Chains A and B, each alone.
Chain A
Amino acid sequence: MSKDFSIVGKSVIREDGFEKITGRAKFADDYKFDGMLFSVMLRVPATHAKINSVDFSAIQNNPSVASIITSQDIPGAKKIGMIKNDQPVFCDEKIVTPGDVLAMIVGEDETELRKLLTKIKVDYTSLPTLTDPKKSLDPDALLIHPEFGSNLIVHHPLRKGNVEKGFAESDEILERVYTTQTIEHAYIEPEAVIAIPLEDGALKVIGSIQNPFTVRRIVASVLNLPNEKVQVVQAQLGGSFGGKDDTMCMLSARAAVAALKLNRSVKIRYTRDESILESYKRHPYILKYKVGFSKIGKINAMKIDLLADGGAYCSMSPFVTWRSVVQATGPYEIENVQTDVRAVYTNNPYTGAMRGFGSPQPIFAQETLMDEIALHIGVTPDEIRRRNGLKLGSVTATGQTLKEHDVNLIPVLNKAVSFTNFAEKWKENKKNQTGLKEYSFDQPIFKDEQFISSEKLIKKGIGLAVSFRGCSLGAEGLDQSSCYISVQPDGKVVMLSGLAENGQGLRMTLLMAAAEELGVTADKIIFLENDTSKIEDSGPTVASRGTIMGAAAAKNAAELLRKQLEKVAREVSKLDETDFISFRENLVFSRKKGMIAKFDDVIKAAFENKVELSAIGRYKSPDVSWDEHTGQGDAYFTYVYGCQVAEVSVNTGTGEVYLNKITAVHDPGTVINRLGAIGQVYGGVTQGAGYGILEEVTNEDGMIRELNFDQYLIPTAKDIDEIKPLFLEGNEKYGAWGAKSLGEPTLELGAAAIANAVCNALGKRFYNLPLNLEEVLLGRKLRPQDLKRGSL
C-alpha cells in the first residue's frame, strides 16, 4: 500500500479495553430493572422422548411462581430457525435432544425457581435414539422430524471435469477417511437476555446477542409483531465465535413471550452447564477423500464425500456445509473434482455456526492428505503445495477464475517456509523419527523393548497447512452493510454501525476507518450501542465480514461527510477551485496555504451555515453466482490466503503434544488496527490448537459428558509457547483500502498444521481429531463408560 495513512495500520488499544479490564463494562447479566423476574427452564433427562403430560399442580399455587410459560402462551410462530423453522420454542409433544426445553417457570427468586423445577412431574416415554450420523440416511432409520420425510438436511453436489478420467490418468491413487469432533464455542460469558415490555405492546430486548437483526426477526415472528415493535440492543458481549446466534434468538423469544404475558421485565441467564447442554456446537464431519496424482505430485482428480452431523435441528447446516463444498479441495487447482457434502439430522446436540464455519474440518483432511502425497512422491510438504497451489488466473473447484485480487497463496507459503526454515527442519526431524511403541491391552506389563531410552522420549516435529477462504457471505446470502456518522456542533463524532461488536474489536476498526477518512483522531469518535431500531439491517456479524463490509461502510460515510466539510472549508478560507484540501489529525490543510483551520472550526462554521453534518455510508458486495446442481459459480467475490507452521514436541511415552511455536502468515489485504489483527491471530491460533489436541464434546447416547470446564478442556496460556503473527498485505480493490478478512483464517489451519507436525515427529499419520493423549499414544480414543464427574 502506497497510501500514507495517519492511523490505519497502526496499533491502537481498543476503545472498550479499559472498561473491560476494570470490570466496568456492562454485560447482559449486569442489567437489572425494577420488578424484573427470572425464568428457568424445564427439561427431562432424556435424549429422544414423547411427552405424554406435564403436571404443574405441585407448583401451580406456589407464591414463588409468577407464571408457568408453555407453548400455549406463544402468540406467533411456535417453531423457529435460522433457515428452516424446525426448532420448537417449547417442546410440548416430544423432545429430540437433551437440551430441549418443555416449559419455563417465572418468578422473582431464581434459586427457588430452580428448586421448584424438580417438583414438576413430567410423564414421558423414551424413544429409540439415532446418534450415529452414518445411519441417518439408512432406509429404516428413525426420523428425527417425521414431517420432512427424511433425515437429510441438505446435499451440496459439485461436479467439475470428469474424476474417473482423472483417476485413470493418474500414476497413484490414495483413499483416506478422516473424522473431526464436535466442539463447543466456549465463550467466557454464558448466555443472558432481558426482555422489557414497552408501551403499546412493543418490546425491547437487551442481551448477549451476536446478531441483533436476526434476533429481532425471530422474536417478532414468535410474538406475531411487526419488526418495528421489537427493539434489540446488544450488551457488551463476552465472546461469541458464532455461538450467540440461534441460542440467543431462542432465549430472547422465550423471555419475550413471558415479558409480554406478565407485562414485566424477564431475564434468562444460563449457567455454564445449561449453556453447554443447550447451545449448538461445531459440526463433526466424516470426510472421505480419493485423490489421483502424477509421479511429480500434480493432482489430476479429487473425489470428496463429506458427511456433517447436524444434530437435532437444521440451524445453519446448509450454509456451513456450503462453505465446505466450495473449499473442500483446499487451495489447489484440480481439473477433475467431484464433491458431495451432506448434513443430516440425529438426536445429538444440534450444530451450527462456529468460527471457521465448515472450513476447519475439510482443511484437516485435505492438508494432512497433501502431506501424504508429498511423502509418496518424495518431496517436502511445501513443494507439493507449490506444485498444485492456486495462482493468479487459476480455476477453482467451483469453476471460478481467480483474478482482480492478489492470489497470495504461494507468497504466504514461501514467507512462512523461509521464516521458519521449514524444509530443513522437516527433513532433520524425519531422519530422527523412531516411531511409537506398540502396547497390548491383554499383556499390559512391559517387555524390555517397550521402554524408551530417555534421549528418545521427546521428538520434535514441524508441519504446515495452507488455505484459501472466501470473504464474507458469498453466494450464501445478501451482502451489504451500513454505517451512520454524525458530527456534533463541538466537533465530536458519533457512529452507529449495522454490524456488531462481538468482542473481536470491530468498534475500533470501524472508528479507525472513519477517523482516517475524516482526518480526525479516533478518540474524537464515539461508537454508539448497537440498536436495531436506529440503523439499517446490515446482515449478521459473521463470516469474517466485519472489516471488509463494516470498515468499507464506515469509510464511505466519512467520505460523504468530508466532502461536505471540504466545501465549507473552501468557502470559509476563500480558497480557489484549483486548491486541494486535506483533513488530517483534527486539522485542515490547503496545498497552497498550508494549515488553514482546525477540524472543530470547520464544524462550527458548517453548523452555523446549516450544512448537513451526518451521513450514511453503505457498502454492498459485488455480485457472485452459484448453480446448486453442479456446484459451479463465482462463489465469493474475493479470497484471503494463509499459511501456518506448527513446531511441536511430542512425548513418545505419554502422547503429549506440546506446541513450541506457531508461525501464522496471513494476507488480510490491508491491516486496519495492527493490535487487533495480532489479537485475532493469538486467539485464532489458540482456538485452532484446542481443536487439534484437546477439545471434544462427546456424548453417551446423546447425553453430553463435558458439561463444564472441569471436563471440557481448552488450551491455557501454558500450553502454547510462542505465537508469531506475520502479515503479508496484498492489494485489493474491495473493502476499505483493500482491508479484507482475518478472524476465521487464523483458526482454521492450526489442527492440520499440528497433525502434520506430529506426523513429522513420529512417522505416524493421524486421521481423527483431536490428537489427545490416547489418540497419539494408542491411535484411538478412550471413553469412560458412565457420565460421572470428578469428585462427585
Chain B
Amino acid sequence: MIDIMCEVLTPKNLAEALLLLSSADSTTKILAGGTDVVVGKTQGSKRFADAETLIDINRIEELKGISEKNGMISIGAAATFSEICKSKLVEEKLPLLKKASNTIGSLQIRNRATIAGNFVNNAPCADTVPALLVYDASIEIKSQTATRNVSLQEFLQGPYKTLLQQGELVTRILIPVPQQNYAGDFYKLGRRRAVAISRLTLAVVIQLKEKKIGDIRIASGAVTPIGTRFPKLEEFAIGQKMTDNLCQELAKKMGEEVLAVTGLRWSSAYKLPVVQQMFYQLLKGLER
C-alpha cells in the first residue's frame, strides 16, 4: 500500500536532466534507486515531505558504467550496487568497495540502490562511504552551466547534508587506482547478516614497507554523525612500525576521537568497546 503522490519525470540523457534541474525548486528531488526517497516519503519523513516532482535518472546512459582511464576509475552515479558487485574492475582494484557494496540491504535493494544515492542521502550508516573515503574518492557534479569536482570528504557536510546545490547533479565518482602495494579491509557489523542497518563500519587501506607504515587511510561509519576519515590517527601512524602495540594504540585513539565527537550516548556503552576492539582486529588482520 505504498501511495506517494509525485510527478515523475524521466529524462533520456544528461542534458535533459540538467535542463529540468535548472528550473527546479526544492519541491523537486532526484530519484535514483528510490530506496531512500520512496521509503522516506511513505514514512512521512520531513526531508521528503515537500517533494512533488521526482526526476528519475535511471535511464541516463552518461550516469552509468564503470571504467578506468589514466589511472582513474570512474563510476557512474547511477551505477547500482549489484552492478558494482559484478564489476571485475571493482573486484580487482577496489576490493573494499566491493565488500562494502555487498553488505548493503538485500539483493533486491542492491539491484535498485545506487552508489551516489548512498552518499547524497548521507545517512550516518551509509555503508560505502568509509570505503570511498579511504580510496580518496572525489565526485563530479554538474549543473546546466558548470561542472565541478569535489573530494567526497568535503562533499559530506553533516548527517543528511552535502554540498549539492539546487540544480546540481552528481554525475560520476572518480577514484585514483590504488597502487599495487596497498592492502586493506572493510568491516561491517549489523544486528544480522543481511538486510541490516550497520551499527559500525570500518575501512582501512595501508601501505607497509618492511613492517613500517608508509601510508594509511582510516575511515568509519555509523559510530560518528557521518562517515569520516581520521587524519590525526593516520598522521600518528605513518612512519611507525606495525606492531601489536601500535594497533592497540590506534584503536584507543579511535575510541577517543569517537567519544570526543559523540559524547556518551545510550549506545556508547556498546559501541565504544566494539569500535576499539574491531578496529584493533581489522588492523591485526593487515599486519603481515
Contacts and interface: CB of A to CB of B under 8 A. Distances in A.
Interface of A: 110-111, 269, 271, 437, 439, 441, 444-446, 448, 450-452, 454, 457, 653-656, 658, 694, 710, 713, 715-719, 772-774, 777-778, 782-785, 789-792
B241 interface: no
Nearest to B187: A654
Contacts of B277: 446, 450-452, 653-654
Nearest to A786: B266
Contact of A454 (B3, B46, B197, B285): B285
Interface in B224-275: 248, 251-252, 255-256, 259, 264, 266-270, 272-274
B192 A454 contact: no
Given A710-B197, A782-B267, A791 B192 contact: no
B45 A773 contact: no
A659 to B, nearest CB: 10
Contact of B192 (A110, A694, A777): A694
B248 A784 contact: no
B195 interface: yes
Contacts of A773: 191, 199, 270
B160 interface: yes
Interface residues of B, number: 44
A777 B270 contact: yes
Contact of B273 (A658, A694, A777): A777
B82 interface: no
B189 A451 contact: no
A719 B1 contact: no
A764 to B, nearest CB: 16
Interface in B183-236: 189, 191-197, 199
A51 B69 CA distance: 69
B269 A451 contact: no
29 contacts: A271-B1, A441-B269, A444-B273, A445-B276, A446-B255, A450-B273, A450-B276, A450-B277, A451-B251, A452-B277, A454-B284, A457-B281, A653-B274, A654-B278, A656-B189, A658-B193, A694-B191, A716-B192, A716-B195, A717-B194, A718-B192, A719-B194, A773-B199, A777-B270, A784-B266, A791-B36, A792-B40, A792-B45, A792-B46
B43 interface: yes
A782 B196 CA distance: 18
> Chain A interface secondary structure, helix, strand, loop or mixed?
loop
B123 interface: yes
A791 B40 contact: yes
Given A111-B3, A446-B276, A450-B273, A719 B192 contact: yes
B280 interface: yes
Contacts of A445: 252, 255-256, 259, 272, 276
B281 A778 contact: no
A454 B248 CA distance: 12
Contacts of B43: 789-790, 792
Contacts of A448: 248
A791 B268 contact: no
Which 3 pairs show the lowest CB-CB distances between chains A and B? A718-B193, A653-B277, A444-B272
A37 to B, nearest CB: 16
B144 interface: no
Nearest to B269: A441
A713 B268 contact: no
B87 interface: no
Nearest to A656: B189
Contacts of A653: 274, 277-278, 281
Interface in B103-119: 106
B162 interface: no
A653 B106 CA distance: 25
Interface in B91-140: 106, 121, 123
B123 A791 contact: yes
Contact of B121 (A783, A791, A792): A791
Tell which of A110, A452, A790 has the most Cβ of chain B within 10 Å: A790
A784 B270 CA distance: 12
A778 B256 CA distance: 20
A233 to B, nearest CB: 23
Nearest to B270: A774
B67 to A, nearest CB: 32
A366 to B, nearest CB: 28
Given A445-B276, A773-B199, A791-B45, A715 B255 contact: no
A362 B129 CA distance: 45
B1 A269 contact: yes
Contacts of A784: 266-267
Name the residue in B189, B199, B270, B284 with the highest tally of chain A Cβ atoms < 10 Å from its Cβ.
B270
Given A452-B281, A777-B270, A791-B160, 8 more contacts: A445-B255, A445-B276, A446-B273, A451-B276, A451-B277, A656-B189, A716-B192, A791-B45
Contacts of B281: 452, 454, 457, 653
B88 interface: no
B47 interface: yes
Given A439-B273, A790-B197, A791-B47, A446 B160 contact: no
Interface string B60-80: 000000000000000000000
A713 B196 contact: yes
Nearest to B191: A713
A446 B272 CA distance: 9
A717 B266 CA distance: 30
- Of the listed residues A446, A457, A719, the one surrounded by the most CB atoms of chain B closer than 10 A to its CB is A446
Contact of A441 (B189, B195, B264, B274): B264
Contacts of A452: 277, 281
Given A784-B266, A791-B40, A719 B45 contact: no
Contacts of B196: 713
Nearest to B42: A271
B44 to A, nearest CB: 8
A696 B91 CA distance: 38
A446 B251 contact: yes
A448 B278 CA distance: 14
A717 B194 CA distance: 8
Contacts of A457: 281
A777 B274 contact: yes
A782 B191 CA distance: 13
Contacts of B267: 782, 784
Contacts of A717: 194
A658 B192 CA distance: 9
A762 to B, nearest CB: 15
A444 B189 CA distance: 19
A437 B193 CA distance: 24
Contact of A782 (B1, B36, B269): B269
Contacts of B266: 782-785
Contacts of B276: 445-446, 450-451
A656 B3 CA distance: 37
B175 to A, nearest CB: 26
Interface string B153-196: 00000001000000000000000000000000000010111111
Contacts of B251: 446, 451
B28 to A, nearest CB: 20
Contacts of B272: 439, 444-445
